[in-house]
Structure formats: structure tokens, C-alpha cells
Amino acid sequence: MIVGVDWSQQLFRLGRRSVDMAMEASVVGSFTKIGYNVRSRMYDWDALPDMTGRTVVITGATSGLGRAAADELGAFGAELILVGRDKRRTQTAARSIAKKHGGSVQVVIADLGELDSVREASVELAQLSRIDALIHNAGALTNTYEVTSDGFERTFATHVLGPFAMTRELLPIIQRTGDGRVITMTSGGMYAERLDVKNVMMGRDDYDGLRAYARAKRAQVALNEEWALREPSAAVFHAVHPGWADTPGVQESLPRFNRVMGPLLRDSYQGADTMVWLAAAEEPLRSSGVLWLDRHPRHKNKVPWTITGPEQSAELWDFVEHLTSPSQP
């Protein structure tokens, strides 16, 4: 017998991990509120720390996961900057959170799908004295093909190009702040798609809203890894998927799925929990380039044919960097 080893504790941890892995393999058990409820109790999650004095910029915070995350971050004392494209809704959310928690909540108006709008917002945000966390949450699943004023398919522009451009512009202030985090809300839908840079942005003729969304989410995860590799001293970079949550976006874009799965879907606060934890806790500072669900790292692929190699990720980086360059017509 090895002296000093607590075998009962080791067996408990092994059993706990086995339960988690079994849920992860089942998908439904992992992504629904079943996974959240079991894991939160099984791992006895720690309470989040006080965030007084820390500044968090979060996009897409007027409803759903973003609104829940902003509410939770405000409750823990963070100074918030809500970035949204609808001025009235964003201001309403800011006033509500400030009234509820008494903290500082500012508003910046920007459409993440329009690069000029992202650049203007980034100039405004760069005036902040610090940014401890930048959370990319804005996005939507659009069932009709749309292009931005730059000529890019809107789903890809909103989920990939806009966040990339904003991260690039704000990274210097995040780095100066120290212990900064860049967090991207992705989706379990990305597991269905592989990264094919030549076809990552869908065209009008072959457009499918669900596939366009999944491809954009796959691209987000690949770029999250690239940021971690290329800027290891600037910040930590994390992607998070919320599981299956009952949000206004799901209700509108996937009504059949919402009806069938409704009783098992997470609420917005359960879906946003890991996003908030990544912005607040100490553990996420010890790694970078990771995909998370329920406060634990997760595999980025469910099937071998979706595995993204380093060459593909680098190709995607070059493609996105070119498209978001200010000189790009």
C-alpha cells in the first residue's frame, strides 16, 4: 500500500469523473439542465468571488444568456459595459441592472456584424482605464441569407469577423490591465461541422441558417485556440458553450426544437453560469485556448472528421485577419 494516499478520495474522484464522462457521451444528459444540475451538485461548485473594481465588456446583453450573465456579473460588483446594436433595449437593460445591483453600467452601441460600427465602438471602449474581461456573446441564428454593408454573410460577420476585430483593437488595454480574459460564447452546434476555410462563409445559393451558424461557431473555437497560441502574454482566451438553453433566440429560430426539448432546456442563468465563472474565478487564468461547459474543459470534437488541424486554424486566422483589415474594401 502507498503511504499517504487517500484511496477513498481517489475512488470518489474517479467515480465522479466517470459520471461526468457518461453524461458527456450522451449529449442530452450533458447539454440539458440534467447535466447542469448533476454537475453543480456533484462538484460542489464554489461561490464566485467579489468583482468590485473589475471591468467587464459584454456584447449581446439585452436578453437571453448575455442578459443573465450581465445580471450575475453586476450582482458580484463588476463594472459593466453593455455593447448592443439596439440603443433602446441596451439602455433599458443597463438601467435595470444598475437599479437592481447599484453598480456602474455603461452602454456602447455597435452592430457586431458591421466592421465600421465595431471599429467605432472599439475606439470608444479603448478610452476605458481597464478591461478585465471581454465577453463575446452577441449573435443570432438567421434562417434567411443576409449580407452586411461590407458584403459578408451576416452570421459569419457577427459571430467571427466582428469579435475578431474588436479583440484585436482592445487587446492592448486588456494586456495592460493584467490577468485579462477574452471569452467567446460558442455553441454545441459546432460539433456538427468541420472547419473548411474555403466554405466557412456560406453563399446565397447554398445557404442554410443552421449550418451557417454551426460553421461560424466552429470557426470561433478554432480562433480561440489561435489567439491563445499567438498572444499568450496578452490575456487568457476561452470558449464556452452553454448547453441547450431556453432563450429568446432558440424560441424564435428553432421553435420545433424548443417545443420538443422545452422541459429539459436550461434556463438562461444556467446557460450563462460558465461564462460568468470564466470572467470571475481564478482557475481560468491557469489555462488558455480551452473549450468549457459546466466549469470543466471539454473535447472540441465528437467525431474524428471534424477535428481541426493547426494548418486549418492558421489558414482561418489569415482569412479573417485579411477580411477585417481596415484597408479591406
Which amino acids are annotated catalytic? 213
User: All 3 cell numbers of residue 154?
Assistant: 451576416
CA distance 290 to 236: 9
> Are residues 223 and 316 in contact, defined by beta-carbon separation less than 8 angstroms?
yes
Smallest CA-to-CA distance from 105 within 53, 60, 70 is with 70
Instruction: Output phi, psi for 191, to 5 deg.
Output: -60, -20
CA distance 75 to 243: 23
CA distance 264 to 327: 47
> Are residues 56 and 81 in contact, defined by beta-carbon separation less than 8 angstroms?
yes
State the Cα torsion 59-62-64-66 to the nearest 10°.
30
User: Residue 297's beta-bridge partner residues?
Assistant: 292
- Give the length of the chain: 329
Smallest CA-to-CA distance from 316 within 324, 326, 327 is with 324
List C-alpha distances in Å: 325 to 114, 182, 322. 13, 20, 5
Smallest CA-to-CA distance from 136 within 273, 279, 5 is with 279
CA distance 316 to 116: 21
